[in-house]
Structure 1
Amino acid sequence: MTRALMIAAPRSGSGKTTVTLGLLCALRRRGIDVRAAKSGPDYIDPAFHAAATGQAGLNLDSWAMPPDLLGALAAQAAQSEVLVVEGAMGLFDGVPGTAGRSGAGADVAARLNLPVLLVLDVSGQSQSAAAIARGFMAHDPQVRIAGVILNRLGSARHERLIREAMAPLGLPVVGAIPRSEALVLPERHLGLVQADEHGDLPARLAALADMAERHLDLDTILALASETTAPSAPARHLPPPGQRIALARDAAFSFLYGHLLAAWREAGAEMVPFSPLADEGPDESCDACWLPGGYPELHAGTLAAAGRFKTQLAHFAQTRPVHGECGGYMALGAALVDAAGTAHAMAGLLGIETSFARRKMTLGYREAHLLAPCPLGPAGTRVRGHEFHYATITARGDDAPLADLSDAQGTLIGAEGSRRGHVTGTFFHAIAPA
């Protein structure tokens, strides 16, 4: 039997990831087989979860994933002793539409019967924290708030005032964490600095485990976790783009969902990684090439100088499909302008030119209707996913678009992406078939 719970908050920036990582590491110290999942579209947090638990990270997304897929992935994760699901943004933040498919963490909590521990950033308030907790308790009868964790406390008196205000609610306070800059993980424009970029990650995780052991009531938290309801059923996945897939993997290209890789491997595909930053090209034995998203804008000079990578990629693309998502799409284009305004020549397999100097955030769920066959599927396929980038398109060239995109509510955004010969790309990140 797997016991499970969700760590959520009223808003982003409340400390969910810090609390989640501390809890995961402290439970693992106890010898508990613990696994984590992230609600919503996120590449970065699951990598930290994996480092903390020693098990692959996972995403559970109620909007982008059909219910059968979400259930199957949850059932897979529920093979551990304890499952901890980290919410995204605020617990009830999602998109209007079909009930249970808003993308909010609350959808996942309700579907999987997850008790929720609410992380409250109480800096700048005291008794008002109880009013917030009361509102969350009453907001949705399908979502059970099982306890609260007070984060960023200023003093013992601060904690006492909040605990006294919480007492009439009958809601246990299962953690009280003092304000500390030492617990903050560094960030950049797309979220936390990636897990594998921290040379001191084991020490950081150990410090978070120490924090959890000092300031969380681990025994009560374990007692509050309940048996999850995750019925497993046959699930639809995006098919692998090839039998042997050349996969760009390094600090510039790391954003690929774990459930996709697992599904491709289960379907019999083999991943053959290569590093563009090390001037490596796709292996000639492969029959498809995939360039994930990531941070090419931080490594544009190195990519521009990677002559062997670009030559071998161009040769590969003459006969076999090459697809780029977001950062991979930018790298397939003609040029990338970095934050300093310097233009760097990219692979030149698509006509797109992008700029990180002219930054504009694009964020949201997307449904793509493919206009032509590509590694995401045949023409006419509908795929759900999301966009999240700051780069802007300064020129598109004369390539045909890859897909028509709609937002989460079905409003048509327009034609997007590029295709030329065997090469395709888009800022859209694919998650699952619609």
Structure 2
Amino acid sequence: MTVLPRLVVAAPASGQGKTTVATGLMAALARAGHVVSGHKVGPDYIDPGFHALACGRPGRNLDPHLVGEDRVVPLLLHGARSADVAVLEGVMGLYDGRVGADGYASTAHVAALTDSPVLLVVDASAASRTVAAVVHGVATFDPSLRVGGVVLNKVGSRRHAAEITSALQRTQIPVLGALPRDAGLAAPARHLGLVPAAERAETAALVERLGERVAEHIDLDAVLALAGSASALEAEPWDPAAEMRVAGEGRPVVAVAGGRAFTFRYAETEELLRAAGCEVVAFDPATDPALPEGTAGIYLGGGFPEVHAEALTGNEPLRRSLRDAVAAGVPTVAECAGLLYLSRTLDGSPMVGAVGADAAMAERLTLAYPTATSPGDTLLTRAGETVTGHEFHRTQVTPGAGDGELGPAWTAEGRTVGFASGTLHASYLHVHWAGHPHLAQRFADAVHARAERSPIPAETSPKVSGTSDDLSSRAEQATSRPVEPLRHHGDVEVRGQGVADFAVNVYAGPRPPWLDDAIHAGLGGVAAYPDATSAEEALAALHARRPEEVLATAGAAEAFSLLARLRRWRRPVVVHPQFTEPHAALEQAGCGVSVVACRAEDGFVLDPAAVPDDADLVVVGNPTNPTGVLHPHATLDRLRRPGRLVVVDEAFMDTVPGEPETLADSVDDGLVVIRSLTKHWSIAGLRAGYLLGSAAVVADLRRGQTPWSVSTPALAAMTALATPTATTESRARAERLVAWRSALEAGLTARRIPHVASATSFVLARPGHGAHAALRDRGVAVRRADTFPGLDGSWVRIAVRPPATTALLFSALDDLLDDLHHQPHHARGEA
């Protein structure tokens, strides 16, 4: 039995405001400190994108047609793991389901399967007392459903709301809130519904406004009480690992299309592939120059390529890379938008050309809930097998199925659709693989088999290089990884090179004289064994903590080693990409490390729900090295669990003015914060750092520390850096870094080099494969990023420097880009 507070947000019809209220409720409850899980009834991809923004965890779909009735509750419980409450947004009218199927797959059907109370949203803009009649009819149509509350949407005034509320008294269904008319809360729509959240930069602000309005006008306590009235569920959470087997050695890369053009896919698809031993790596067909390094499988989901056709067409290197990969037999699945992208043209714009068909916008919308049959053996299917799926598009491809070399993918409703072979499956049909896990297994099997032979041939991956006569050697130099990548550090990039240093994140400026004086004074005491007492007292005062909650360490590296040996960790998790030292320390301590990967397409933002519930140690950087992402402390708070230790590496927090997201002042047995003083103060050689935790945890760590591991000069520096003078100077340095970083990011943007918005003293950029070596040839050292788990050789980390120094980087980049532009086509690997 599983207790999960939950409710279904439904309406009498479409357009009543379900998405507004459901998303607003999720945002408001999350802002109030609750862990909220968002779900959508039906196959829709767009609303779950808004849910994900509101909840800070993936939005999930619940659809009996797609996954079968028996999987609806397990998928709900899986998506809502560790959540305080689940909010399920309905589809269409409450009782509207598959046509001709007596309400099958309707919101009412899912509410019954999950035994969830219903919160009914009614658009009151054109009625008053009649609203009560509508609510009464909806609530009594099926007595087995419990409509437990009403939210009035678009009320004109308090008097209007009071009139409706009075009329509803005879139904004995309480009004839990009334939202006034507010055109500013409407999300824009186009030919297939709302514009996806991932395509609108202002979406996060819209979701926040929704949360504020809902908190102001809806009784959240009453909503929680209604959700809490839901009965316990007799089911176990769905587990992707139970559905799949690992098909081979290693973790072959499945390249998954993302970015603004490809926003539609079910979260469970990636989870199944990971459970089958694949590494899922996102790429953006509009901007990335090549498929991810080592790609052994490709998944192109849904989205709006017709809206972004110009950008997709303009990225000719990626189109060529993908066309060559499909031709070379790399297992490829394409659904709907993926099919359009693989076609020769889309409304006349050149696409990949891997499928012999042309796509164009159509006059009529195709919306179907078919059961499809496979006419033959393909990458995913066997002849005669059936699946359930859905179609939702306003385009058509010609021919609609097969192209001479490829057979049809499906037969459905008397027609053949899509294109398929032993290595390709492309059609309009969206299939939820959690309902048909054998499809995911076959794809994973093919990916593993491909990886054992070879991943994408090298010639399909264009590389940036500094010369026109030696591309291959530069690429080889750039992609050969160090023997121990987890122990590779930026200082290696500049040793003995005589190059401009953009690789090491040490602050580019002299130390304050008072800090040098303190260090020199510390040298006077080196005849005696070091005593950390004074330094720890000073650091405790700095953070308004007790001295027994502070442990001075020989840099962050010692802290990670102490934590790795603190307990016999059952399932330690490291959130990547991030500083590799904690991962290396855990492996050295004999721990098997689980990795949670933040995705480039999400801006490397952490999803707390991606961390396994049974993780007893979680390590995350903030701001994170190398991405520069600053995670909100509210996000990190969601990682906390009984029996779990959360370690937040704040080695670069002092580079953020005001340190707004620090957890250094939070005392909890389940939290340790690590700080470093080496980079911001240019004292990397002193190894000066410390950790903050509860007195009990710090005492345990202290017992594992080698005596006198922190030198007297390092302790003298710590004491000096805990003074008001140091605090003032630290903020001034941080503010200078902000100005320098802005100039760096502006220059990268002007050169159309993709990069991640950073909050710290470095920027993660993606100039392409071979750029690391090519820049070094031009006298500029940047930090290679392929030694960070989750990144490949197309990324580099660039340290923030004063504008005069940054000009050297820009000059080298301009030279590199100019060289590349003037190379003959064959030298750039072009056909």
Call closer, same or farther: CA 1:222–1:303 in 2, change over 3 Å. Answer: same
State whether structure 2 residue 89 is matched by structure 1 residue 86: yes
> 1:340 corresponds to which residue?
none
Between the two proteins, the alignment pairs up a number of residues equal to 422
Specify the code of the residue in structure 1 equivalent to 2:279: E
Provide the secondary structure at the position in 2 that maps to 1:262: helix
Post-superposition CA distance 1:207-257 (Å, at most 9, x none): 112211211011111111123525127678699999531111111112111
> 2:360 corresponds to which residue?
355
What is the distance in 2 between the residues matched to 1:234 and 1:156?
Answer: 45
User: Is this contact kept in 1: 2:78–2:237, CA < 8 A?
Assistant: no
Cα offset for 1:326? 0.6
| TM-score for both structures, normalised by structure 2 | 0.49
State whether structure 2 residue 392 is matched by structure 1 residue 388: yes
User: Is this contact kept in 2: 1:275–1:281, CA < 8 A?
Assistant: no
Cα offset for 1:320? 1.8
Post-superposition CA distance 1:352-377 (Å, at most 9, x none): 21112x33200021222222344433
2:233 to 209, 214, 229: 229
Provide the secondary structure at the position in 2 that maps to 1:6: strand
What is the distance in 2 between the residues matched to 1:394 and 1:373?
Answer: 23
> 2:342 corresponds to which residue?
332
State whether structure 2 residue 19 is matched by structure 1 residue 14: no
Specify the code of the residue in structure 2 equivalent to 1:257: Y
Call closer, same or farther: CA 1:354–1:250 in 2, change over 3 Å. Answer: same
| Unmatched 5+ stretches in structure 1 | 338-342, 407-411
User: Is this contact kept in 1: 2:409–2:426, CA < 8 A?
Assistant: no
| TM-score for both structures, normalised by structure 1 | 0.91
What is the distance in 2 between the residues matched to 1:233 and 1:119?
Answer: 29
Provide the secondary structure at the position in 2 that maps to 1:56: coil
Superposition pairs for residues 374-413 of structure 1, below 5 Å?
Answer: 374-396=378-400, 397-398=403-404, 400-406=406-412, 412-413=413-414
Call closer, same or farther: CA 1:22–1:333 in 2, change over 3 Å. Answer: same
Call closer, same or farther: CA 1:291–1:240 in 2, change over 3 Å. Answer: farther
User: Is this contact kept in 2: 1:35–1:82, CA < 8 A?
Assistant: yes
User: Is this contact kept in 2: 1:78–1:230, CA < 8 A?
Assistant: no
State whether structure 2 residue 54 is matched by structure 1 residue 52: yes
Post-superposition CA distance 1:150-196 (Å, at most 9, x none): 11111222212211111111110011111110111111222221212
What is the distance in 1 between the residues matched to 2:349 and 2:210?
Answer: 40
> 2:133 corresponds to which residue?
131
Call closer, same or farther: CA 1:238–1:145 in 2, change over 3 Å. Answer: farther
Instruction: State the superposition RMSD in angstroms.
Output: 2.3
> 2:722 corresponds to which residue?
none
Specify the code of the residue in structure 1 equivalent to 2:341: A
Superposition pairs for residues 309-320 of structure 1, below 5 Å?
Answer: 309-317=318-326, 318-320=328-330
Cα offset for 1:382? 2.1
Q: Which has the larger radius of gyration?
A: 2
Tell me which moved more, 300-309 or 370-379: 370-379
Which structure has greater helix proportion? 2
Cα offset for 1:2? 2.0
What is the distance in 1 between the residues matched to 2:192 and 2:246?
Answer: 27
User: Is this contact kept in 2: 1:404–1:413, CA < 8 A?
Assistant: no
Provide the secondary structure at the position in 2 that maps to 1:429: coil
What is the distance in 2 between the residues matched to 1:360 and 1:163?
Answer: 41
Call closer, same or farther: CA 1:20–1:233 in 2, change over 3 Å. Answer: closer
Provide the secondary structure at the position in 1 that maps to 2:16: coil
Cα offset for 1:98? 6.5
Call closer, same or farther: CA 1:305–1:374 in 2, change over 3 Å. Answer: farther
What is the distance in 1 between the residues matched to 2:281 and 2:80?
Answer: 29
Call closer, same or farther: CA 1:160–1:25 in 2, change over 3 Å. Answer: same
> 1:274 corresponds to which residue?
283
What is the distance in 2 between the residues matched to 1:68 and 1:427?
Answer: 26
Call closer, same or farther: CA 1:124–1:196 in 2, change over 3 Å. Answer: same
Provide the secondary structure at the position in 2 that maps to 1:360: strand
What is the distance in 2 between the residues matched to 1:223 and 1:421?
Answer: 53
Call closer, same or farther: CA 1:234–1:19 in 2, change over 3 Å. Answer: closer
User: Is this contact kept in 1: 2:97–2:106, CA < 8 A?
Assistant: yes
| Unmatched 5+ stretches in structure 2 | 437-831
> 2:368 corresponds to which residue?
364
Superposition pairs for residues 22-421 of structure 1, below 5 Å?
Answer: 22-79=24-81, 80-95=83-98, 102-225=104-227, 226-227=229-230, 228-229=232-233, 231-232=235-236, 243-283=252-292, 285-317=294-326, 318-337=328-347, 343-356=348-361, 358-396=362-400, 397-398=403-404, 400-406=406-412, 412-419=413-420
Post-superposition CA distance 1:34-70 (Å, at most 9, x none): 1110010011111111111111111000111123322
What is the distance in 1 between the residues matched to 2:284 and 2:89?
Answer: 31
What is the distance in 2 between the residues matched to 1:55 and 1:213?
Answer: 20
What is the distance in 2 between the residues matched to 1:239 and 1:136?
Answer: 45
Which structure has greater strand proportion? 1
Call closer, same or farther: CA 1:373–1:306 in 2, change over 3 Å. Answer: farther
Greater relative CO (CA pairs within 8 A, separation 6+) = 1
Specify the code of the residue in structure 1 equivalent to 2:281: V
Specify the code of the residue in structure 2 equivalent to 1:194: P
Call closer, same or farther: CA 1:314–1:96 in 2, change over 3 Å. Answer: closer
> 1:425 corresponds to which residue?
426
What is the distance in 2 between the residues matched to 1:305 and 1:234?
Answer: 41
Cα offset for 1:381? 3.1
User: Is this contact kept in 2: 1:111–1:229, CA < 8 A?
Assistant: no
Post-superposition CA distance 1:403-431 (Å, at most 9, x none): 3343xxxxx33211013673331011111
Provide the secondary structure at the position in 1 that maps to 2:67: coil
Post-superposition CA distance 1:299-337 (Å, at most 9, x none): 222222322112211221122222211111011111110
Cα offset for 1:121? 0.5
Call closer, same or farther: CA 1:314–1:77 in 2, change over 3 Å. Answer: closer
> 2:587 corresponds to which residue?
none
User: Is this contact kept in 2: 1:246–1:288, CA < 8 A?
Assistant: yes
Specify the code of the residue in structure 1 equivalent to 2:95: F
User: Is this contact kept in 1: 2:252–2:294, CA < 8 A?
Assistant: no
What is the distance in 2 between the residues matched to 1:239 and 1:386?
Answer: 27
What is the distance in 2 between the residues matched to 1:368 and 1:385?
Answer: 7
What is the distance in 1 between the residues matched to 2:131 and 2:101?
Answer: 31
> 2:6 corresponds to which residue?
4
> 2:582 corresponds to which residue?
none
Specify the code of the residue in structure 1 equivalent to 2:176: V
> 1:409 corresponds to which residue?
none
What is the distance in 1 between the residues matched to 2:287 and 2:8?
Answer: 39
Call closer, same or farther: CA 1:230–1:4 in 2, change over 3 Å. Answer: farther
Cα offset for 1:267? 2.6
What is the distance in 2 between the residues matched to 1:15 and 1:402?
Answer: 40
